[in-house]
Amino acid sequence: MSATGIGASVKRKEDIRFITGKGHYVDDLNRPGQAYAYFLRSPHAHATIDKIDASAASKSPGVVAIFTGDDIAADKVGGLICGWMIHSKDGSPMKAGAHPALAQGKVRYVGDHVAVVIADTLAQAKDAAEKIEVAYTELPAVTDTAKAASAGQAQIHDVAPNNTIYSWRLGDKAATDAAFASSAHVTKIDFVNNRLIPNPMEPRAAVAEYDSGVDALTLTTTSQNPHVARLVLSAFIGLAPEHKLRVIAPDVGGGFGSKIFIYPEETVCLWAARKIDRPVKWTAERTESFLCDAHGRDHVTHAELALDANGKIKGLRARTIANLGAYMSTFSSAVPTYLYGTLLSGQYDIPNIDCEVDAVYTNTAPVDAYRGAGRPEACFVIERLAEVAARETGRDPAEFRRMNFVKSFPHQTPVIMTYDAGDFAGALDKALALADYKGIGQRKAASAAKGKLRGIGFSAYIEACGMAPSQAVGSLGSGVGLWESAEVRVNPVGTVEVLTGTHSHGQGHETTFAQLVSARLGIPIENVSVVHGDTDKVQFGMGTYGSRSGAVGMSALSKALDKIEAKAKKVAGHVLEASEGDIEFKDGKFTVKGTDKSIDFGSIALNAYTAHKFSGQELEPGLKEGAFWDPTNFTFPAGVHICELEIDPQTGVVTIDRWTAVDDFGKLINPMIVEGQVHGGIAQGVGQALLEGAHYNSDGQLVTASFMDYCMPRADDLPSFKIETIETASPSNPLGIKGCGEAGAIGAPPAVINALTDALGHEDVAMPATPQAVWRAAKKAVKRAAE
C-alpha cells in the first residue's frame, strides 16, 4: 500500500480552498444584473387562499415581478413529484396529492409557498413582500402523526381520504401470528421516532439564469444530484428539455439527504429567470431551512418480539404510522417502506416478520430521506426490542444478541434483503474488548458512589446501502435506476480527469477517487483531478446519498479504469512491438513479459494521442473510457456501537463517558475519511437521542424554527470516539466496498437510549431525552428503587 493508494489516510486535496475561504458555494456566486427572490410563505398550517392582492407590493421600490400559483399554472408548469410508487395492501396506488411549486387555492403547512417577490435587492424584495395582502380562510389543522388518519380530521388532500397516502405491508402475517402464538415470551414496546430537521450548515440556495440567445436555462443549486434535478425539472416539471437545461451543483455545504430533493424555490427561480430575462438569486434564511427543508423520521411505532424458551427470536412484528408531511417529497414514499421494513431482521436470524406501515399527510413540512433514511427507524425498532427482551428475560444484552446473530452467509431474510457477507460476532467481540465491558460493574459502582447513574447500551446495527441494484428498486416502485457512471479522460501528457456522476458535499471524493486512479494507473495523485456536479461536464449520474458513492460510484470508476488499462495495453503492444497478450501493466509501467522492454504510462498516453506508432483504422486514437456500473445487490455495512453514559439525577444532564464503535464497511479507501463519516453520523444519532426534535404546536406552528429552539449538537455535547473496523468484503462490487456515510446515524440512537434506560433501571425515556425528561425519569427510578 503506497502513501496515496487504496487504504491510505491521504490528506484531502479539496481542503485547501475550504481552509482559505476560497470555496465556491452557491451564495458566493453573483451574476451581473441579478435580481433577488424572496418567498412569501403561509403563516397558517391549513387554509384556503381566497385572494392575493399584490397591487401595492408591485409598486414597491425595486420590484421587478411578483408571481403566484396562478401565474405558474397559466404557464402550465408541472408540479413537484414523488418518484417512487408504493402500492397499498389492497393493490391501490399511493394517493399522491398535487404539489404545485407555488400554492394553488390552498396552503397546507406553515411555510408553504404563496408568492415570490423578485426585486433589485433582497431588502427591497422583503419590504415589498410585507405589502402583499393575502386573504385566508383558516381550516382545522392536524400535525399529530398518530391522529392524522382519525375520523373527523380535516382533509389535507382530496385524493387521500383519512389523510392516508398508503397502507403497506411487508412480510408474512399468518406465519408471524403463528410464531407469536406459540412463543414463550413476547416483548412489546411503543415509541416515537422523533422528527428531525437535517440542518446542514449551508442553507439551500439557487441562482437561475436564462440565455435568450440560445433559449437555454442554467441553474446553479445546492444539490446532491444535479442530473436528477435536471431530469425532474425537465421531464416532469417541464421547464425546458434536458439539452437546454444545465444544472450545476458547485461546492455544497452538507446535505444529509435534504439537498437530494427538488423543491419549489429553485423551480420557481428557474421559471422566473426566463419570465423576467434576468438572473434570479435565492438563498434560504435559516428559519426558512427549518420551515421548508424536508424533515426526517417522524414514525409512531408499536413493535413486538417473540422469543422461544431458550431466548431465540421467533418473530417480529411492527406497526408504524409514518408522517410524510403536507406534500409527498421526491423520495418520501420509499423511506418508511422499502428502506425500513426490509431491515427489521437486524443482525438476527428471525424466521418470521410482519411489518405494516400507514403513511399519512399532516399539516407539517414534507418529510423525506435524512441520513439513514428508514434504516435508523428500523434499527431503533430491532435494537430496542432486543435490549428490552434481553432484560425482561434476565439475559446479558451482548450474549442475547450473539445467540441470535446470523452466522452463515448468504442469509435470506423474510423481508426481501439477502445479507451477503458479514462477521457479526467478530465485531461484537472486538467492541466488547475495546469498551472494557468487563469493567462496567465497577464503573457503575464508582458512579453511584458519587451520586450518579451510569448505564451501558448496545446497538448491533445493519443497514442496506450502496444504493442500488436498478432492477430490484424498479420492481419495488422506483421511477429511476440507481447505477452510477464514471468517465476517465487521460490527457496526452498523462494527467487524468475523472468525471463522476456522484457529488461530494463533504465526503472527500476529490481525494478518494483520485486515490483509486493513482493506485491503478501508477501515477502521482496530484496528476488526477475529479470533476463532478455539472450536467454539461458529466453526462449523467444519480448523485450522492444512501452511502453509494464508494460502492457504486467508485465501482463505475474501477470498470472505466479496466477499459483504460485494456486500451493502453493495446497501444503499448504497438509501441513495444509485442503482442497485446504479452504486455503486463504494474506500478505505472507497461512491460513485455520476460524482457526488460518497458514504457511508462505517461508515454503511452502521449502515443495514444499522437497515433504515430499504430494505424488509426486498426486502433482508435485517444485514451478515454467510460462505464456505467449497476450493483448486483445492496451492500450491508454492519457493526456494534456501545454507548456508556452517566446521568446526574439532580439535573438530568447526560454525559456520554465513552463511545465505542466497531464497524464492517468492507474495503476502506481512506480510513481517515471513513472515521470522519462515522464521527459525524454518531453526532447526528446522539443529537436525535438526546437533543433534537422538531415540534409543531396545536396551531400547526413550528415552534422549533431556529438554532435557539432546536438543539443542535455542539462540541461540548459529545465525547471523542473510539472507532475501529473489521473487514468482510462486499461481494456485490469489484472493490468490496460497503459504504460508511450513514452508519453512525443509524447505529447511535438505540445505543444511547439503551444506555440511558440501563442507567435509569429500565424506565423508558422518549427521544429526545432532554435533561428535563431524564430528570423526571430519574426521580421515578430512584423512587422505585427505594420501594
Partner 1 sequence: MVHVSMAVNGRPASADVDPRTLLVQFLRENLRLTGTHVGCDTSQCGACVVHVDGRAIKSCTVLAASCDGAQVTTIEGLAQGGKLHPMQQAFQDNHGLQCGFCTPGMIMASIDLVNREGPNLDEATIRHGLEGNICRCTGYHNIVKAVAQGAREMGAATPKAAE
Cβ at position 200, least distance to partner 1 in Å: 6
The helix or strand, by DSSP H or E, that contains position 292, with its residue range, turns out to be helix 286-292
**Using omega within 30 degrees of 0 as the cis cutoff, is the peptide bond preceding 65 cis?**
no
Among 210, 256, 340, 370, which residue interacts with partner 1 (rule: CB under 8 A)?
256
**Binding of residue 459 to partner 1 (CB under 8 A):** no
**Binding of residue 14 to partner 1 (CB under 8 A):** yes
Cβ at position 557, least distance to partner 1 in Å: 21
**Binding of residue 253 to partner 1 (CB under 8 A):** yes
Sequence letter at residue 414? P
Helix, strand and coil content of the chain, in percent to the nearest 5, comes to 30, 25, 45
Spatial separation of the C-alpha atoms in residues 570 and 142, rounded to whole Å: 67
Output 19 or 566, the one with its CB closest to partner 1: 19
Output 118 or 521, the one with its CB closest to partner 1: 118
Cβ at position 97, least distance to partner 1 in Å: 31
**Binding of residue 673 to partner 1 (CB under 8 A):** yes
Output 679 or 762, the one with its CB closest to partner 1: 679
CA distances from 242 to 217, 263, 534 (A): 10, 18, 13
Output 290 or 634, the one with its CB closest to partner 1: 290
**Binding of residue 201 to partner 1 (CB under 8 A):** yes
The helix or strand, by DSSP H or E, that contains position 529, with its residue range, turns out to be strand 528-531
Cα 137 to its chain centre, rounded Å, is: 37
Spatial separation of the C-alpha atoms in residues 700 and 498, rounded to whole Å: 48
Output 73 or 718, the one with its CB closest to partner 1: 718
| 574 closest CA partner among 521, 626, 617 | 617
**Binding of residue 708 to partner 1 (CB under 8 A):** yes
**Binding of residue 331 to partner 1 (CB under 8 A):** no
- Structure-block grid coordinates of residue 532: 463532478
Among 7, 238, 254, 426, which residue interacts with partner 1 (rule: CB under 8 A)?
254
Cβ at position 719, least distance to partner 1 in Å: 8
- Structure-block grid coordinates of residue 723: 472507532
Region binding partner 1 by CB under 8 A among candidate stretches 270-278, 563-571, 586-594, 713-721 = 713-721
Among 367, 416, 683, 774, which residue interacts with partner 1 (rule: CB under 8 A)?
683
Cβ at position 388, least distance to partner 1 in Å: 28
Output 171 or 200, the one with its CB closest to partner 1: 200
Interface positions, 381-410, toward partner 1 (CB under 8 A): none
Among 578, 672, 766, 782, which residue interacts with partner 1 (rule: CB under 8 A)?
672
Output 11 or 779, the one with its CB closest to partner 1: 11
DSSP secondary structure, 585-648, as one string: EETTEEEETTSS-EEEHHHHHHHHHH--SS-TTTS-S--EEEEEE--SS-B--EEEEEEEEEE-
Spatial separation of the C-alpha atoms in residues 400 and 128, rounded to whole Å: 64
Cβ at position 156, least distance to partner 1 in Å: 29
Region binding partner 1 by CB under 8 A among candidate stretches 247-255, 354-362, 410-418, 590-598 = 247-255
**Binding of residue 286 to partner 1 (CB under 8 A):** yes
**Binding of residue 17 to partner 1 (CB under 8 A):** yes
Instruction: Answer whether 634's CB lies under 8 Å from 342's CB.
Output: no
| 157 closest CA partner among 103, 199, 111, 204 | 103
Please name every residue paired with 51 in a beta bridge, in sequence order, or none if there are none. Answer: 135
Phi, psi of 642 (to 5 degrees): -125, 120
Output 525 or 606, the one with its CB closest to partner 1: 525
Cβ at position 36, least distance to partner 1 in Å: 11
Cβ at position 246, least distance to partner 1 in Å: 22
Cβ at position 8, least distance to partner 1 in Å: 13
**Binding of residue 681 to partner 1 (CB under 8 A):** yes
Output 21 or 581, the one with its CB closest to partner 1: 21
Q: How many CB atoms lie within 10 A of CB 471?
A: 11
Region binding partner 1 by CB under 8 A among candidate stretches 27-35, 395-403, 590-598, 728-736 = 27-35
Region binding partner 1 by CB under 8 A among candidate stretches 55-63, 197-205, 441-449, 620-628 = 197-205
Query: If you count them, how many residues does the chain have?
Result: 787
User: Strand pairing of 299-307 and 313-325?
Assistant: antiparallel
**Binding of residue 15 to partner 1 (CB under 8 A):** yes
Spatial separation of the C-alpha atoms in residues 292 and 616, rounded to whole Å: 56
The radius of gyration of the chain from alpha carbons, rounded to an integer in Å, stands at 28
- Torsion angle (degrees, nearest 10) of CA 8, 490, 625, 240: 100
Exposed e or buried b for every residue in 229-257, given b needs 16+ CB within 10 A? bbbbbbebbebbeeeebbbbbbbbbbbbb
Output 186 or 434, the one with its CB closest to partner 1: 434
**Binding of residue 526 to partner 1 (CB under 8 A):** no
CA distances from 780 to 445, 755, 762 (A): 20, 17, 11
DSSP 334: G
- Torsion angle (degrees, nearest 10) of CA 233, 238, 244, 249: -10
Binding-site size for partner 1 (CB under 8 A) equals 58
Exposed e or buried b for every residue in 446-469, given b needs 16+ CB within 10 A? ebeeeebbbbbbbbbbbbbbbbbb
**Binding of residue 12 to partner 1 (CB under 8 A):** yes
**Binding of residue 33 to partner 1 (CB under 8 A):** no
- Structure-block grid coordinates of residue 419: 445479507
**Binding of residue 703 to partner 1 (CB under 8 A):** no
Q: Burial level of 158, CB count in 10 A (0-12/13-18/19+)? A: exposed
Spatial separation of the C-alpha atoms in residues 483 and 742, rounded to whole Å: 19
Among 127, 202, 304, 742, which residue interacts with partner 1 (rule: CB under 8 A)?
202
Region binding partner 1 by CB under 8 A among candidate stretches 41-49, 528-536, 606-614, 673-681 = 673-681
Contacts with partner 1, 500-519, as mask; x by CB under 8 A: -----xxxx-----------
Cβ at position 270, least distance to partner 1 in Å: 23
Among 7, 27, 497, 657, which residue interacts with partner 1 (rule: CB under 8 A)?
27
**Binding of residue 123 to partner 1 (CB under 8 A):** yes
Alpha helices in 45-165 (DSSP H): 55-58, 69-74, 122-129
Among 744, 749, 750, 768, which residue interacts with partner 1 (rule: CB under 8 A)?
744
Output 10 or 326, the one with its CB closest to partner 1: 10
| 739 closest CA partner among 660, 674, 661 | 674
Output 69 or 741, the one with its CB closest to partner 1: 741
Sequence letter at residue 616? G
Give the residues lining the site for partner 1 (CB under 8 A): 11-12, 14-23, 25, 27-28, 30, 123, 199-203, 251-254, 256, 283, 285-287, 505-508, 672-673, 675-676, 678-684, 706-708, 712-716, 718, 720-721, 744
